[in-house]
Chains A and B, each alone.
Chain A
Amino acid sequence: MLNVIWLGLIVISIVVAAITGRMEAINAAAFEGAKTGVTVCLGLLSVLAFWMGLMRIAEKSGLLELLARVLSPIIQVLFPDVPKGHPAMGYILSNMSANLLGLGNAATPMGLKAMEELQKLNPDKQNASPAMCTLLAINTASITIIPTTMIAIRMQYGSVNPVEIVGTTLLSSFAATIVALLIDRMYRYRHIRRHR
């Protein structure tokens, strides 16, 4: 799927650029895009290194395992194929709570650690497992309590009440998360049936 999308985006771009005479623009765009990739990665590096350092302490001290044990009934429903008390659960939980608090830069490193743990459980290392897809679904639709960036921008443009979108964002992202989990369930059953 990603192969097709990537190829499609680039080939269509070149064809359209040829027709509209924007060859120069997409030449620049290709390298500008590559540069953005590096810039984003550098930004990620600082945050990732910091949170992964802290997470290692939580792991070594047994804090993560404790968290996973206490809250495993909830995650067990969402991730039925992750064994009880597995470290992946602690990371999934940390990822979900960081997302919930709107701490996007803390959520990513925890989500990545969760992915690493899920990859250890994955029998086929090239293909995403159903648990990995569920984790991704939670992250793409994630419930946001405080949309910090949008509040700041509304403030900047002189909104009378910059925070009045908190409620609508919360409701809408909550509804989207439910939909994401339902669709994920549907695909999961279809996927499991096909691979049996």
Chain B
Amino acid sequence: MYQWVSLLSLWAIPVTIAFVLLYGWQKQVPVYETFVDGAKGGLTTTIRILPHLIAMMVAVSMFRESGALDLLLRALKPLLDLLHFPEELVPLALLRPLTGTGSLAIATDLIAQYGPDSFLGRLAATMQGSTDTTLYVLTVYFGAVGIRNSAYALKVGLWSDLAGVIFSLLIVSYIFA
């Protein structure tokens, strides 16, 4: 199964590229000029996103380095103990919506410390894989089109992160118990 899936992921991009180019060629689209024209759009989009990302990265980085994140973790600990949530995984669950690289570092550290085939190692890997950095996605997607008010999108993103964390715990406990 995995071999089939990894083969698919290996072939997906080259086949997509070839298919799009050949389809365009066959429809008499000047493929090179069209590609260059479209790629220019990538530049303007990046420039539009840049200020939003800088703002968000500064805030997240300051929050982490000031020790505020540790305080938040400590404050939430009693609640999580009550829910029988493994305390080693708390930093990962809390950091996941804020920073992708930060939470990846924590997940890697957990796997290194407890072993990839331990309960905590499997849970960390599943949790990291099944949620996304909501704040980053929101910043990039809405920043690119100049949305100021994100309406209820952030709430939906954070609730779904929480759901991802809970489902990871339930499913890993059930399957690897």
Chain A contact residues, CB within 8 Å of chain B: 1-2, 5-6, 9-10, 12-14, 16-17, 20, 22, 25-26, 28-34, 36-38, 40-41, 44-45, 47-63, 101-103, 106, 108-109, 111-112, 115-116, 118-119, 125-130, 132-133, 135-137, 139-142, 144-150, 153-154, 157-169, 171-173, 175-177, 179-180, 183-184, 187-188, 190-191
Task: Please list 6 pairs of residues, one from A and one from B, whose beta carbons are closer than 8 Å in the complex, sorted by A's number.
Answer: A20-B66, A31-B58, A57-B29, A136-B153, A153-B116, A153-B125
A103 touches B13 (CB 8 A): yes
A101 adjacent to B104 (CB under 8 Å) = no
Residues on A with C-beta less than 8 A from B115 are 157
Q: Are A53 and B42 in contact (CB under 8 A)?
A: yes
Residues of chain A with a CB closer than 8 A to B176's CB: 168
Contacts of B140 in A (CB 8 A): 44, 108, 112
Q: Which of B5, B35, B64, B117 contacts A56 (CB 8 A)?
A: B35
Interface on chain A toward B: helix, strand, loop, or mixed SS?
A: helix
- Across the interface, name the chain A residue whose C-beta is closest to B20: A58
B164 in complex: contacting residue of A50, A128, A141, CB < 8 Å:
A141
Q: How many residues of B contact A (CB 8 A)?
A: 99
4 further contact pairs, Cβ within 8 A, besides A157-B111, A175-B167: A54-B38, A61-B26, A153-B116, A165-B125
B126 touches A172 (CB 8 A): yes
Q: Are B157 and A60 in contact (CB under 8 A)?
A: no
A45–B40 Cα distance when bound, in Å, is 10
Does B17 sit within 8 A of A, measured CB to CB? yes
Tell which of A146, A154, A191 has the most Cβ of chain B within 10 Å. A154
At the interface, yes or no: B80 with Cβ under 8 Å from chain A?
A: no
A141 near B20: Cβ-Cβ < 8 Å: no
Contact B59 A165 (CB under 8 A): no
Interface string of B64-79 (1 = CB under 8 A from A): 1111100100000000
Query: A60-B24, A62-B27, A139-B137 in contact; A9/B125 too (CB < 8 A)?
Result: no
Q: Which residues of B contact A144 (CB under 8 A)?
A: 129-130
